[in-house]
Amino acid sequence: MPTVLDEIISGVREDLAARRAATSFQQIEAMAAAAPPALDPLPVFRTAPGVAVIAEVKRRSPSKGALADIPEPGALAAAYAAGGASAVSVLTEQRRFGGSLADLDLVRSAVSIPVLRKDFIVDAYQVYEARAHGADLVLLMASALDDEQLSDLHDLATRLGMTPLVEVHDAAELERALAVRPSLVGVNARNLKTLEVDRQVVADLLPLLPSDVVAVAESGVSGPADVADYVRAGAGAVLVGEALVTGGAPAEAVAAFITAASGVRAAAAGSASAAPQDKE
């Protein structure tokens, strides 16, 4: 019985075949080579006050259907940046999420912060495509790739100057992800095979990440309290879409997430400084 993820990837492959027929592999490679150098998001992610917010341009989802019209993706991205977002995520999958590479182009031209191409990447063509359209990061889902594919696509994205965000949903996927020595790992509370959300997955897996890996909490965020919980669990970044596109005040929402996370970090620092110190 095909899962939701299987069905999405089947459609992704069909759409990919159509794009490859219109633009050859050699052409997309040349376009990627001609693009301005990718931005490195890791320094900002590691030093962002409170938490690094990766704010998403997301029109709809398989679980919720239509979320927001978003006639001007660039304007939304600019609002995210004004609120303090460290990066913008752009969903480019068309069938289930209503996105496109045109959205990626509009966002890239509107902001100077790093941009993530969020899609179901299953082929090297899509990685070159992401770079050609100005993406600085690319999502690689362990659930959609075998070990060889994950390693190859991670290496390719890195060679092109991009930062791969390797996404996992369980301990087995995390083990596979860490084998490619990623700098950025996302733990998704949503199981894309069933569309169920379990925020405990994030709380369980984030502490297992090495200290030199930037930990990203994904899905399950409805407000600042959820962001605070993820930061307590070890998140250095949060990727948020639905709560931002449906709330009506994207810049203010991003700022509220950062404020909530800053409060958690301040409290933790205060507790640490107040703890009794061992005497020699």
* The one catalytic residue among 100, 118, 252, 271: 118
* Structure tokens that stand for 243 in this block: 């709560």
Q: Which of 53-62, 116-125, 267-276 has the lowest mean pLDDT?
A: 267-276
Average pLDDT value for residue range 131-158: 98
Residue 63: predicted pLDDT: 83
State how far the Cα of 171 lies from the Cα of 153, in Å rounded to an integer.
21
Q: Please tell me whether residue 53 adopts helix, strand or coil conformation.
A: strand
Number of helices (H) and strands (E) in the chain: give both, helices first.
12, 10
Residue 35: predicted pLDDT: 97
Residue 279: predicted pLDDT: 47
Return the amino acid letter for 222. Answer: S
State how far the Cα of 261 lies from the Cα of 130, in Å rounded to an integer.
30
* The one catalytic residue among 58, 61, 173, 191: 58
> Does residue 232 register a pLDDT over 70?
yes
Contacts 24+ apart (CB under 8 A), 74-78: 74/106, 74/107, 74/109, 74/110, 74/111, 75/110, 76/245, 76/250, 77/106, 77/107, 77/110, 77/111, 77/115, 78/110, 78/111
pLDDT in tens, 147-188: 999 999 999 999 999 999 999 999 999 999 999 999 999 999
DSSP state of 143: G
The beta-strand segments (E) located in 124-162 are: 137-141
Average pLDDT value for residue range 250-266: 95
218 is catalytic: yes
- CATH second-level architecture of 4-266? Alpha-Beta Barrel (3.20)
Residue 61: predicted pLDDT: 86
Residue 2: predicted pLDDT: 85
pLDDT in tens, 71-130: 999 999 999 999 999 999 999 999 999 999 999 999 999 999 999 999 999 999 999 999
* The one catalytic residue among 56, 129, 173, 242: 56
Single pTM value for the model: 0.94
> Does residue 277 register a pLDDT over 70?
no
Question: For residue 188, what are the β-bridge partners?
Answer: 218
State how far the Cα of 1 lies from the Cα of 218, in Å rounded to an integer.
26
Identify whether the C-beta of residue 122 lies closer than 8 Å to the C-beta of residue 15.
Answer: no
* Structure tokens that stand for 133 in this block: 């359209």
Residue 192: predicted pLDDT: 83
58 is catalytic: yes
* Structure tokens that stand for 89 in this block: 């995520």
Q: How many residues does the chain have?
A: 280
Average pLDDT value for residue range 185-213: 93
Q: What angle do CA 222, 255, 82 make, to 5 degrees?
A: 120
Burial 258-275 (b: 16+ CB within 10 A, else e): bbbbbebeeeeeeeeeee
Q: Please tell me whether residue 56 adopts helix, strand or coil conformation.
A: strand
Residue 50: predicted pLDDT: 93
Instruction: Say what percent of the chain tops pLDDT 70.
Output: 97
> Does residue 275 register a pLDDT over 80?
no
State how far the Cα of 186 lies from the Cα of 61, in Å rounded to an integer.
19
Instruction: Say what percent of the chain tops pLDDT 90.
Output: 85
Average pLDDT value for residue range 199-210: 95
Domain extent listing, the chain = 4-266
Residue 219: predicted pLDDT: 92
* The one catalytic residue among 129, 143, 219, 242: 219
173 is catalytic: no
DSSP state of 278: P
Q: How would residue 280 be classed by pLDDT, with cut points 50, 70 and 90?
A: very low
Q: Which of 84-88, 204-208, 247-251 has the lowest mean pLDDT?
A: 247-251
State how far the Cα of 273 lies from the Cα of 278, in Å rounded to an integer.
13
Average pLDDT value for residue range 201-205: 95
Q: How would residue 247 be classed by pLDDT, with cut points 50, 70 and 90?
A: confident
* The one catalytic residue among 93, 188, 191, 242: 188
Measured in degrees and rounded to the nearest 5, phi and psi for residue 156 equal -65, -50
Parallel, antiparallel, or unpaired for β 65-66 and 184-188?
unpaired
* The one catalytic residue among 93, 167, 173, 242: 167
